[in-house]
Amino acid sequence: MITTIIVFIIVFGILVVFHEFGHYIVAKKSGIMVREFSIGMGPKLFYYRKKGTTYTVRLLPIGGYVRMAGGSDDEEEIKPGTPVTLKLNDQNIVTNINTSKKQTLFQGIPLIITSTDLEKDLWVEGYENGDESTVKRYSVDHDAIIIEEDGTEVQVAPIDVQLGSASLPKRMLTNFAGVFNNFVLAIVVYTILSFVQGGVLTNTNKVDVLPTDSIAKDAGIRSGDKILSVNNHQTDNWTEIAQQIQPNAGKKINVKIQRDNSTKELSLTPKKQKSGENTIGVIGITQSLDHSFKAKILSGFTQSWEMTKRLVLAIASMFSGHFSLNDLGGPVAIFATTSQATKFGLTGVLSFLAFLSLNLGIVNLIPIPGLDGGKLVLNIIEAIRRKPISENTETVITLIGFGFLMLLIVLVTWNDIQRYFLH
């Protein structure tokens, strides 16, 4: 259990951080201010500021986020009635605004905020030193720092560095960058996996035999043999072999093999093995490996492409046929599957990480408001209309999408708990 928890945290963390790093790097290159890049969620443990971005590490090691200036998660900073402390430079322009009661970093001017404009004209107004007879106004520097309630320092976000001020192509690239990074991660991990396991799994009817506990080995099958048919059903590749063997758990089957130029027919009985909620038949064989250097180098692309096709077909079948919550999986399902992946060691974890990365990338492209795909659809609509959707309309659409996603997450999580722990 401890190993599973550690692997789950590492895998989930790599997935989310890699995804968010895509948004981060393209936003920075596009002139969009990234106010915060967080690893983890919840209360902050520590932070570091550099070149306008605050990098935070937070308590809960589950994911992370990128907070872009003017983005949907960039909240209003200072509300009227908030007590703050101002630090001024030699020109009496505000360089620091302390809103945290936990921080007394500098001796400054105490002010009760009555109004602010930290986007266009850059000023704050309020009652100085408790004197409510006069409202004082101070100009705010373009790169001023706000110390938030939890003590985190972030830079103010003037309109010129906000997400909405970037050109449409730059915003589209920023929205797509997270998904792009997930595909890059999958390609890299699949390539590493091929070197770790010594070759690339091939989808042919040539098989390798497990060295121990192998029914196939006991029946006379050897590594390098080709399985030509199972129960007289022709098998030209690994997928067809699995389709014929797995449904026959505990049932005797006839297998025709080819070794060099000779053929032989064998009889054997696949043993029963649990796979999620199902029981499948296995005989102790694996896909053969292509050990060539070229295959290993190209494996990241080829395996990512093959898995992408399978995932897209699986998602398409959900929308075209009978939908079930069992077709979906949330963090609970990922945790349960992580437990199975760790049993296969490093290769199992790497394969699972690449699969999840592709899954996250493809799901994020679904045009649901709140996902990257939904944001891209709004970008496309803006391109067609040649003007952006009104802020109120976009807010309503985003809230509806967010509400739908939250409801789906709750339903999927409860369904996963029932499937994996209460069944």
Q: How confident is the model over 347-388, as pLDDT tens digits? A: 889 998 999 899 889 988 988 887 899 889 989 999 998 888
233 with 348, same domain: the answer is no
218 with 282, same domain: the answer is yes
Q: Is the pLDDT confidence value at 172 over 90?
A: yes
Q: Which domain holds residue 416?
A: 294-420
Q: Which of 311, 303, 304, 324 is nearest to 362 (CA)?
A: 311
Q: What is the pTM of this model?
A: 0.79
Phi, psi angle pair for 129, to nearest 5°: 55, 35
C-alpha distances (whole Å) from 98 to each of 36, 90, 117 are 17, 18, 16
For residue range 178-220, what is the model confidence (pLDDT) as tens digits? 999 999 999 999 999 999 988 888 889 999 998 888 899 999 9
Distance CA 412, CA 415 (A): 5
Which of 256, 287, 318 is where one domain is finished?
287
In a domain, 407, yes or no: yes
In a domain, 11, yes or no: no
Q: Which of 28-42, 223-237, 393-407 has the lowest mean pLDDT?
A: 393-407
pLDDT at 12: 86
Q: Which of 334, 374, 325 is nearest to 352 (CA)?
A: 334
275 with 239, same domain: the answer is yes
108 with 225, same domain: the answer is no
**Overall number of domains in the chain:** 3
Distance CA 129, CA 110 (A): 5
Indicate if 20 belongs to the active site. Answer: yes
In a domain, 1, yes or no: no
In a domain, 383, yes or no: yes
Across residues 12-40, what is the average pLDDT? 93
Which of 261, 287, 313 is where one domain is finished?
287
Across residues 88-97, what is the average pLDDT? 93
Q: Which of 85-89, 212-216, 241-245 has the lowest mean pLDDT?
A: 212-216
In a domain, 58, yes or no: no
Which of 252, 287, 322 is where one domain is finished?
287
The more confident residue out of 106 and 400 is 400
304 with 416, same domain: the answer is yes
Instruction: List the structure tokens of 246.
Output: 């797995």
pLDDT at 327: 62
394 with 333, same domain: the answer is yes
Q: Is the pLDDT confidence value at 222 over 70?
A: yes
Exactly one of 20, 36, 148, 394 is catalytic; name it. Answer: 20
260 with 305, same domain: the answer is no
Tell me if residue 38 falls in helix, strand or coil: strand
Distance CA 70, CA 76 (A): 10
414 with 318, same domain: the answer is yes
In a domain, 197, yes or no: no
Phi, psi angle pair for 251, to nearest 5°: -110, 140
In a domain, 65, yes or no: no
Distance CA 172, CA 166 (A): 10
The more confident residue out of 112 and 311 is 112
In a domain, 14, yes or no: no
275 with 313, same domain: the answer is no
Across residues 286-312, what is the average pLDDT? 89
Q: Which of 172-186, 232-246, 251-265, 398-412 has the lowest mean pLDDT?
A: 398-412
Distance CA 329, CA 415 (A): 9
